Structure 1
Amino acid sequence: MAKKKSFAIIGASFFGLSVAQTLDEKKQYIKIFDINEEKLNLYAADFESAEAIVLDTTNKSALERNGIAQFDCVIVSLRSSMEASIITVLNLIDLGVENIIVNARDRHHKRILLALGIEEDKIIIPDVLTGKLIATKSLFDIDGDVQSTDGEYSFTNIIVKDEQIIDKTINEAGLSTNKDFNIVQIKRNGKIVIPDEYTALKEDDLLVVFAKNNIINNLIEKIRGADLED
């Protein structure tokens, strides 16, 4: 299991709640902040351990009183109000928060965040990201899910099902790292395995693969089996 960390989710938006749900499932320490008490009360019951706090995060003193600088990561998801998002980010910077991830509304919003000093890889525009994933999946007719892409290469998850590679090492299965793909990690029985060419593949292993888009389907066929449906 991942090391337990503390996360502040600012904004009970769909994006923020989705992030919180995943972190909650991983048993992380989470606080969700939103100015809308009705919205927080509506969704609070969906979480096993996340704490919901009514807070105006454009108020720097209120953030400070809630110990915002003590969190390992603060995720700002105030996409519906660019002004509130920017003021909140400025408050976080003033209070010394180092790890800030922001859900931006559009490229204009992103440009402002970059000017404030937020790193580009910490700025997420979901519509743009989703569009890239759908375009890549459609362009290369990829049968599996595309998790992320940089244009030529993508991350995808493939479950080991083909009997021909079960209990064989990665090398024996012909899946050793090369210039076209790499098995980054294996998720097995709730644990993470960092593989090498001598790691044996087990049935139902979930392989996280970084590969060229034009060979992903070949890998899916080899790992999952040609006759299995999505």
Structure 2
Amino acid sequence: MAKKKSFAIIGANYFGLSVAQTLDEKKQYIKMFDINEEKLNLYLSDFDSVEGIVLDTTHKSALEKNGISQFDCVIVSLRSNMEASIITVLNLIDLGVENIIVNAKDNHHKRILVALGIDEDKVIIPDVLTGKLMATKSLFDIEGDLQSTDGEYSFTNIIVKDEQIIDKTINEAGLSTNKDFNIIQIKRNGKIVIPDEYTALKEDDTLVVFAKNNIINNLIEKIKGDWEDN
């Protein structure tokens, strides 16, 4: 299980709630901030352990009183209101928050955030990311779900189902690391296994694979086999 950290999510919207759900599943400590009390109460009713705080985050003193600088990570999800997003980020920087991730509206919004000092890889434009993933899946006719892509390579999860590789080592299964792909980790019974070529594959292991886009379908076929057709 991941080390428990504290997260502040600013903005009770689809992106912020998706992040909260994932972190909540990992048993992390989460507080969500939003200016709209009704929306906050409605959305957080589905969570058992996410605390909601009604707050206007464009007010630096309000953020300071709520100990915003004590969180391990602050995620700003205010893409529909660029002004509020930028002011909130400026407040976080002034208050010494070091780990800031921002959901940006577009490239113009991103340029401003980067100019303010936010690392480029911590500014997320979901529409752009979704577009890249969909384009890559369509271009290479990839059957599995992609997690991210940089153009030539992508991350994907593949579940071990083919009887021909179950209980064989990665080397025996012909899945050793090469220039085209690498098995980064294995998710097994709620635990993470960092594999080497002698690691045995078990049925229902989830392999996190970094691979060239044009071979992902071949890997899916090799690892999953034709179990869905049986």
TM-score (norm 1): 0.98
Query: Which residue of structure 2 aligns with residue 22 of structure 1?
Result: 22
Aligned 8 A contact 2:76 2:100 in 1: yes
Query: Which residue of structure 1 aligns with residue 207 of structure 2?
Result: 207
Query: Which residue of structure 1 aligns with residue 11 of structure 2?
Result: 11
Query: Which residue of structure 2 aligns with residue 46 of structure 1?
Result: 46
Q: Deviations over 1:71-105 (max 9, x none)?
A: 00000000110000000000000000000000000
Query: Which residue of structure 1 aligns with residue 96 of structure 2?
Result: 96
In the alignment, the residues of structure 1 paired with residue 45 and residue 159 of structure 2 have an alpha-carbon distance, to the nearest angstrom, of: 32
Stretches of structure 1 that go unaligned for 5 or more consecutive residues are none
Report the CA distance between 1:227 and its aligned residue.
Answer: 5.1
1:171 aligns with 2:171: yes
In the alignment, the residues of structure 1 paired with residue 152 and residue 30 of structure 2 have an alpha-carbon distance, to the nearest angstrom, of: 35
Query: Which residue of structure 2 aligns with residue 64 of structure 1?
Result: 64
* Paired letter, 1:102: V
In the alignment, the residues of structure 1 paired with residue 153 and residue 228 of structure 2 have an alpha-carbon distance, to the nearest angstrom, of: 24
In the alignment, the residues of structure 1 paired with residue 44 and residue 226 of structure 2 have an alpha-carbon distance, to the nearest angstrom, of: 43
* Paired letter, 1:75: I
* Paired letter, 1:114: V
Query: Which residue of structure 2 aligns with residue 141 of structure 1?
Result: 141
In the alignment, the residues of structure 2 paired with residue 5 and residue 92 of structure 1 have an alpha-carbon distance, to the nearest angstrom, of: 18
Query: Which residue of structure 2 aligns with residue 115 of structure 1?
Result: 115
In the alignment, the residues of structure 1 paired with residue 122 and residue 19 of structure 2 have an alpha-carbon distance, to the nearest angstrom, of: 14
Q: Deviations over 1:95-142 (max 9, x none)?
A: 000000000000000000010010011000000000000000000000
TM-score (norm 2): 0.98
Q: Deviations over 1:163-191 (max 9, x none)?
A: 00000000000000000000000000000
Identical pairs, percent: 88
SS of the residue 1:8 aligns to: strand
Aligned 8 A contact 2:169 2:198 in 1: yes
Report the CA distance between 1:68 and its aligned residue.
Answer: 0.2
- How many residues matched? 229
In the alignment, the residues of structure 2 paired with residue 139 and residue 228 of structure 1 have an alpha-carbon distance, to the nearest angstrom, of: 24
Report the CA distance between 1:13 and its aligned residue.
Answer: 1.0
Report the CA distance between 1:226 and its aligned residue.
Answer: 3.4
* Paired letter, 1:205: D
* Paired letter, 1:167: D
